[in-house]
Structure 1
Amino acid sequence: MNGADDRDLARLLRMSLGGDEKAYSDFLQNAAALVRIWARRRVANGLDPEDVVQETLLAVHLKRHTWRTDGPVKPWLFAIARHKLVDALRRHGRHARVRLDAVEDVLVTEEAETARDWEIGRALEALTPGQRSVVTAISVEGRTIAEAARSLDMNETAVRVALHRGLAAIARRFGRK
């Protein structure tokens, strides 16, 4: 797993909530890698990104029961990380000075990415598992029809049909024809 696939993260977290310690260890390793990359881009002078990572993982451990098992993991994870970063900045207080215009673009981009991930998750909820995997492979991950067919062990015609039906179901769910 590359650590960035929300479906794999969700699977690991669901398994860990069921008591699978290996899945929980794998989930935490992948979550730590994602949060570490995220924190390194956002931490101000004088703060250690690893502190934000560790605080986030502790909060994930304590609040893992709050994750909706049918929802995406990454928006939930990054919301926790964002709160832990704010907490760290508050603790650091007077010592960290960052001009708002220096981080404004980062904050706007981050909010847009989180909102987009959440809306994609909501849209995918309306689909059957087969349609969800096809739409995710093509529309979210950017694979071609041929690549999706190979990775999902389907023929290309079946992938096209599932994609069409999946996108139509999403359009119906959100009031578009």
Structure 2
Amino acid sequence: MREREDEWTGLMRSAISGESTAYHRLLKAVTPVLRAAARRGLTRAGQPVDQSEDIVQDILLAVHLKRHTWDVSAPFAPWLFAIARNKLIDALRRRGRRVFVNIDDFAEVLPGEAPVETASAGEVAAQLASLPARQRDVLQSIAVESASIKDTAAKLAMSEGAVRVALHRGLTSLTAKLREQ
């Protein structure tokens, strides 16, 4: 272990002094170790290891971008593993607290989906006609004709904010009327 760390330190010193082959050798040497550490960290956190390669790439990128901050008189491995630990923590924070469960294991106990009741096109058209003219025109333009809010505002000589309000109110009214049936 100590031998490996001394080798990495020597390679990093050579890389900083401009030896690109030493830098390449260093990256090849540390990558499998970082990959194993990322997988181990994800496993400990109860996360799937499928993101370990992304974490390794983040670590290598950070090493590359921050290599000028490494103190050449210090050993390389502690500096590298501090970056690795921080990148793993960042990745876990981005993912949040998620628990992954294979849903196939529960297929027998999950209830089937209840059928969703839908209104017919005729019912929707009848209820749409009962809305105030402005709401009806906005809903017709956006929901039926697939026009944008901007185009609808220009067509109906309204502000975009007024179109949004009319759309929201129209959808709320239409939904309430269709639920009553």
Q: Tell me the TM-score normalized by structure 1.
A: 0.50
Larger radius of gyration: 2
Q: Tell me the TM-score normalized by structure 2.
A: 0.49
